[in-house]
Amino acid sequence: MKLSELLTVFSEIAPESLAEPWDKVGLHAGSLGQDVMRGLLCIDLTERVIDEAISRGCQLIVAYHPPIFQPLQRLTAEGPWSQTRMVRCVREGLAVYSPHTALDAVRGGMNDWLCEGLGDGDIRPIDPAGARRDEYKVVVFVPVDNEAAVRQAMADAGAGWIGNYRECSFSAVGEGGFRPIEGANPTIGKVGQREMVAERRMEMIVSGRYLGAVVTALRQAHPYEEPAFDLFKLEPEPVPAEQQQGAGRLLALRQSIDARTLADRVKARLGVGHVKLAAPAGSGPVRTVAVCVGAGGKLFESVQADAYVTGEMQHHQALDLAQRGRAVVLAGHTNTERPYLPVYREKLLAAGAGIDWFVSEADRAPLAIV
């Protein structure tokens, strides 16, 4: 398959729009037109993983954690490992893609999979994706003859993106009225005289990250000295609870359990022999469980639950929860993520990514119990 075709499948399984705003999901290296026959799935892109990919004859590595997260100041073969691994991938013709928090947030992704091993119950996101919607509708009024130029300028700056469609807009015919006063330099009409001009009301949606650039482009492309435009903040689209996606999960168990049973279920689901457990004496039964693969940290600050399950957590946060009578289960950062890779492999095959997929054997957690 072409890499571009595989990217479409990746987005169908875990749309990149679901990723956290701070995340760096997507294609990190590679050419859209390159042929891919074999792919390797891993959590962390390390030199050992690259060795394995080469030995297996792969052309693609899907690394759950983005290998380029902080900006690289340079890209040299003699630099730190964060640089050399990317240099090597490019030299070897290995494309690199990362789904990260998009795969956490999507229905059927990592968080849902972990929850399903903890007991029967209702599952909903802690932070629904729709609740974080950062989009605006820009409405601009422009002379008919200039509409196409303004629309293109706004689109080039990032407006008009809706799903897999680009340059989306709506327009309607109307009349714009104005009277230039002393000091104005009107494109149409004269100072002191009222003018009525055939105009279009044009609307385009824009992400908050591109809003400033779009407004600048609008002003530069618009023929008027003072363009008339409005900005409307868009509210999240209502989504039924059973369809909601987003960060973390809150599991409401149908039958309560104790903290020790919860820890045993986490170990069984992840296939690990040990977890860290805070089970305060006198704490009540566990009915609600906050779940987040990797590091729950800040996300857990926004939810009240009887127990919290994640990979790692700061000491003082775990201490605070335990002192308040909450149970905490810590299974290790990548231990909560790596067991999902075989599930992801099956999803890729079912979705049409019909190449040979391997789950990395060289990929390991950096810390081990000794």
pLDDT digits (tens, 9 = 90+) for 19-29: 998 899 999 99
Contact by Cβ (8 Å): 122, 255: no
What's the average model confidence in pLDDT over 301-312?
A: 95
Q: Is a pLDDT exceeding 80 seen at residue 281?
A: no
Residue 311, pLDDT score: 96
Three-class HEC string of 80-116 = CHHHHHHHHHHHCCCEEEECHHHHHHCCCCHHHHHHH
Contact by Cβ (8 Å): 274, 158: no
In one-letter notation, the amino acid at residue 15 is: P
Residue 130, pLDDT score: 67
Give the CA distances from residue 78 to residues 88, 94, 198, in Å, rounded to whole numbers and listed in that order: 11, 19, 63
Residue 131, pLDDT score: 63
Backbone angles phi, psi at 274, to 5 degrees: -140, 145
What domains are defined for the chain?
3-103+339-359 (3.40.1390.30), 107-129+244-331 (3.40.1390.30), 134-233 (3.30.70.120)
Convert the pLDDT of each residue in 220-261 to its tens digit.
999 999 999 999 999 877 777 677 889 999 999 999 999 999
Residue 367, pLDDT score: 86
The count of C-alpha atoms lying within 13 angstroms of the C-alpha of 281, restricted to the half-sphere facing its C-beta, is 0
- Rounded Cα–Cα distance for residues 269 and 337 (Å): 11
Convert the pLDDT of each residue in 320-361 to its tens digit.
999 999 999 999 999 999 999 999 999 999 999 999 999 999
What's the average model confidence in pLDDT over 155-182?
A: 89
Residue 326, pLDDT score: 94
**Three-state DSSP state, 273:** coil
Q: Is a pLDDT exceeding 70 seen at residue 176?
A: yes
Copy the structure tokens of residue 148: 């196409």
**Which residue shows structure tokens 């399903």?**
116
Contact by Cβ (8 Å): 291, 114: yes
Residue 185: CB atoms within 10 A of its CB come to 8
Q: Is a pLDDT exceeding 80 seen at residue 161?
A: yes
Residue 345, pLDDT score: 98
The whole-chain average pLDDT of the chain stands at 93
Q: Is a pLDDT exceeding 80 seen at residue 196?
A: yes
Convert the pLDDT of each residue in 57-112 to its tens digit.
999 999 999 999 988 888 888 888 888 999 999 999 999 999 999 999 999 999 99
Copy the structure tokens of residue 78: 């003699």
Is beta strand 127-128 parallel, antiparallel or unpaired with respect to 246-247?
antiparallel
Contact by Cβ (8 Å): 333, 311: yes
- Rounded Cα–Cα distance for residues 321 and 275 (Å): 17
Q: Is a pLDDT exceeding 90 seen at residue 121?
A: yes
Contact by Cβ (8 Å): 144, 198: yes
- pLDDT band with cut points at 50, 70 and 90 for residue 132: low
- pTM across the whole model: 0.73
- Rounded Cα–Cα distance for residues 116 and 156 (Å): 43
Residue 233, pLDDT score: 94
- pLDDT band with cut points at 50, 70 and 90 for residue 43: very high
Residue 47, pLDDT score: 96
